[in-house]
Structure 1
Amino acid sequence: MNSVVTRALMLATALSLTACSSWIYRIDIPQGNFLEQKDIDKLRVHMTKEQVRFVLGNPVAENAFDDQTWHYFYSLKGGRGSNFEKQLVARFDQEGKLLDISGDFDKPAQFNTPLDI
């Protein structure tokens, strides 16, 4: 009978601990470049790689086989299970001038107007 009581207490303790697990603080885990639309709005066609790097920071990934494509990615894994992801791909021509952007952000209305004008 003693082992039955011990097992019942162990089971009750385990169940009560799992019920409390929702009270445990879990941290948010951010990864990548946090970008906002106001940052993307500063981009213009024909910007140099240095200018894009100044506005957006270093890309998360540069393709080793194609250095004309930069990938910006941001992920936030919430401690409570909510996730958030955004990405931006910047493409450059052979001279290192910005050709196009694509991804989860709106292309700026003035994107096709170079800064030189």
Structure 2
Amino acid sequence: MQNLIRTVVLLLAVSLIAGCSYFGVYKRDIPQGNLITQDMVSQLHPGMSRSQVAYIMGTPLLEAPFSSDQWDYVFYLDEAYGGTVQKRLTLTFQDDQLVDIAKSGDMDSDVELNQGDGPGPAVEGAGESAPVPQIGPSGI
């Protein structure tokens, strides 16, 4: 009887382990850094102020530690069942004006980030929005 129980437990454990490896592991795309699109890069031109650049690109991921004249925007996407996408944009300022734009990576292809797909909690603001209450003549 003990051998039968051990055999059943062993077969159950082997079938569970085999079942887990059959389906594989769920993977997600992992984006990191600042999203850099072709539209954003095409709006940049020498002579722009820091505030104009920040309006278009957002805050930089990296600033040069000893000089605030260089801003780096880095984007890295590790695709779940594919390769990786890397983009880097280095902006150099002189007297609060943009003087140089250095690009590396594939700036021509835009990356689509699917935030609402898959299991897990919903992304805040991704669902249907509640109707905005209207204020009538009575103030309510």
Taking structure 2 as the reference length, what is the TM-score of the superposition? 0.63
Alpha-carbon distance in 1 for matches of 2:18, 2:86? 34
Gaps of at least 5 residues in structure 2 are 109-140
Distance 1:101 1:51 in 2: 14
Matched with 1:49 is 50
Partner of 1:101 in structure 2?
101
Structure showing the higher helix proportion among its residues: 1
User: What is the CA distance between 1:74 and its match in structure 2?
Assistant: 1.2
Displacement of 1:28 after TM fit? Answer: 2.2
Partner of 1:31: 32
The answer to whether residue 18 in structure 2 is matched with residue 15 in structure 1 is yes
Partner of 1:6: 9
How many equivalent pairs are there?
Answer: 103
Q: Which one-letter code corresponds to 1:102 in the other structure?
A: A
TM-score, normalised on structure 1? 0.73
Counterpart residue identity of residue 96, structure 1? D
Consecutive aligned runs of 4 or more in structure 1 exceeding 4 Å deviation: none
**Deviations 1:21-55 (Å, cap 9, x if unpaired)?**
25x3x332222221212211111112111111112
Offset of residue 14 of structure 1: 0.2
Q: Which of the pair has more CA radius of gyration? A: 2
Q: In percent, how many aligned pairs have the same letter?
A: 27
Residue 78 of structure 1 deviates from its aligned partner by 2.4
Say which SS state the counterpart of residue 73 (structure 1) adopts. Answer: strand
- Shift of the alpha carbon at 1:4? 4.1
Gaps of 5+ in 1: 107-117
Give SS of 2:68's match.
coil
RCO comparison, higher one (Cα < 8 Å, 6+): 1
Partner of 1:111: none
